[in-house]
A and B are shown apart, each in its own frame.
Chain A
């Protein structure tokens, strides 16, 4: 059994005391930041980015990934109890909060944990089965194929983000331009530095992500004064157990959500947010009484949660085999690996099997830790929700500022984070989604390089992208997605799905 050997190898890596500790730390912090309103997981991952510079690559990756899926587990708690729409869980507010108002908060919390567990495990299996073969196919790729993949990833990121696709494309290009800041590796020319020496090395992704997502998030939420509807003491052991009906309705929904999420996660640019929205939409389609949705239908809580978690795990397939991040958090993780001198591409799994399989095994461990946190210790997290936000955000600001400062010991970077906070807030006001910007930032340099190389190989003939069959097929896929989206956004009757049903967002971290 080859797979068994691989899992054993992974266990050797993930099972070390240090890695177990960082896995625990990652999922726990992720869960904490998911539960607490107004931080957002992109900012959370960026805050901890500097920590990864002090530990081996596997350890850092395990921690950041734990933070990522931990936040998905945690976010639903706030959605159900406080109606806080963290982006990953925004859709769960629709039925989760009404369930809490009806006194079924415990059931909703328990069943979403089960849904998360199911979604994650199926996602992990898909990752283990699909990533290695996909990587070996991708090994034959050359620059034109890569260029096409980058185009597809960016198109996906722009099209799948919430809001106007034109704005999302502008967001992607803005990210690519920011990625150009600094010295061009090929020519040695300093681009877009405007004579500032701090810009010669480019702008760190942590600084940008924390500003765009973290600072602007705090500006939006600082004035919020929310109070929980559920008293922590009301979440007892007994209240967690679903009734026979609730269980019967849930398990099918969980399976449907899982398969939707696992499939969508494989697409570059999709990510858990889209998966949860699709999971909800499908439940509403197949339900016998769609009228129950919005008034506490348990399927509307568990299916999106299963889908989000499944997509979270399968999102690692394009990220770790092609180097195309599935969402902004993956983009930050790829950047963390690049700092460590590890380039992620098709040869990642074969040249760093310990990293890949170690990460995979750490997902299993992390999910078990999260279930333990959410079933016996759920009361603890519920209690945390009673911390007022006005005490929380100064603390978050402290961590962001010191985190940014510690990367290069530079207070200019702190001010740079503030600048990007302003950019992020302006983008929110103008309803531009910031997530595609991060994807553009990470993929921009790769795009320029592969474009340049392809054109050198073809002696300046741009039809090389169509002459290579694989790159032609990928570009065609990107083109179809593009035309379809434009067609949809032009037809007047089509309002974007769920625009009026999703509760007003306070947190757009992932959209």
Chain B
């Protein structure tokens, strides 16, 4: 397989689908297929797995025939900063409370853009914390502490 074929969206998508289909078939074989009269929990997922297998194969073949466009380069910078921001939010919220979690989320995610506005971003973080506290904690009575050590 040439490099160009490997960068084709149809080929990559098709191969991923085939992999997923195999995974689904293996996993659902453990659920008990049952019979057509009494469909077991594995019956329907097995059907879906077979469909997925067929579609994945069709897509891969089409890709190898030259259909489909080359894949675009992933935007690494926003992926890294936004994943980091959400991860930190999830870690910080139960341990340190709402204010630090929002602060981290805003400051880290702002790094996804190349624009530098430290003052505005800080003000934004403070404003959003106040807003979130009033709306979610006070009005919608969400149980979360503002700050916790």
Question: A residues bordering B, Cβ < 8 Å?
Answer: 50-51, 54, 164, 166-167, 169-170, 173-174, 176-177, 180, 184, 186-187, 189, 191-192, 215, 218-220, 222-223, 225, 388-391, 393-395, 397-399, 401-402, 405-406, 409, 411-412, 414-415, 417-418, 421-422, 425, 429-432, 447-448, 451-452, 455-456, 459-460, 462
Contacts and interface: CB of A to CB of B under 8 A. Distances in A.
Interface of chain A, main secondary structure: helix
User: What's the dominant secondary structure at chain B's contact region?
Assistant: helix
B134 interface: no
A219 B75 CA distance: 7
A402 B79 contact: no
Across chains A and B, which 10 residue pairs bring their CB atoms closest together, nearest first?
A: A460-B37, A390-B113, A222-B112, A222-B78, A411-B90, A189-B41, A430-B13, A394-B106, A187-B41, A414-B90
Nearest to B73: A429
Nearest to A415: B90
B78 A223 contact: yes
B69 to A, nearest CB: 7
Contacts of B90: 401, 411-412, 414-415
A447 B24 CA distance: 18
Interface in B88-126: 89-91, 93-94, 101-102, 105-106, 109-110, 112-115, 117, 120-121, 124-125
B113 A222 contact: yes
28 contacts: A50-B140, A170-B52, A170-B59, A174-B20, A191-B45, A192-B27, A218-B82, A219-B75, A219-B79, A222-B112, A223-B78, A223-B112, A225-B114, A390-B117, A391-B117, A394-B106, A405-B93, A405-B142, A406-B142, A411-B91, A414-B86, A421-B83, A425-B74, A430-B13, A447-B44, A448-B39, A452-B44, A462-B36
B44 A460 contact: no
A177 B32 contact: no
Interface of B: 9-10, 12-13, 16-17, 20, 24, 27-28, 31-32, 35-41, 44-45, 48, 51-52, 55-56, 58-59, 62, 67-69, 71-72, 74-75, 77-79, 81-83, 85-87, 89-91, 93-94, 101-102, 105-106, 109-110, 112-115, 117, 120-121, 124-125, 128, 132, 136, 140, 142-144
B82 to A, nearest CB: 6
Contacts, number: 188
A189 B31 CA distance: 7
A215 B16 CA distance: 22
A223 B140 contact: no
Contact of B41 (A184, A397, A425): A184
Nearest to B79: A219
Contact of B36 (A223, A395, A411, A460): A460
A507 to B, nearest CB: 15
A389 B120 CA distance: 13
Given A177-B24, A225-B115, A430-B12, A398 B128 contact: yes
B82 A421 contact: yes
A141 B69 CA distance: 43
B93 A187 contact: no
Contact of A164 (B10, B77, B89): B10
B89 A414 contact: yes
Contact of A219 (B62, B78, B94): B78
B123 to A, nearest CB: 10
A411 B13 CA distance: 31
Most chain A CB within a 10 A radius of its CB, from B48, B62, B68, B105: B48
B134 to A, nearest CB: 12
A265 B38 CA distance: 37
Contacts of A215: 82, 86
Given A220-B78, A398-B128, A452-B39, 18 more contacts: A51-B140, A170-B13, A170-B17, A173-B52, A177-B45, A222-B82, A393-B109, A398-B102, A398-B132, A401-B101, A411-B90, A411-B91, A421-B83, A429-B71, A431-B68, A432-B13, A455-B36, A460-B35
Contacts of A186: 41
B24 A415 contact: no
A266 to B, nearest CB: 28
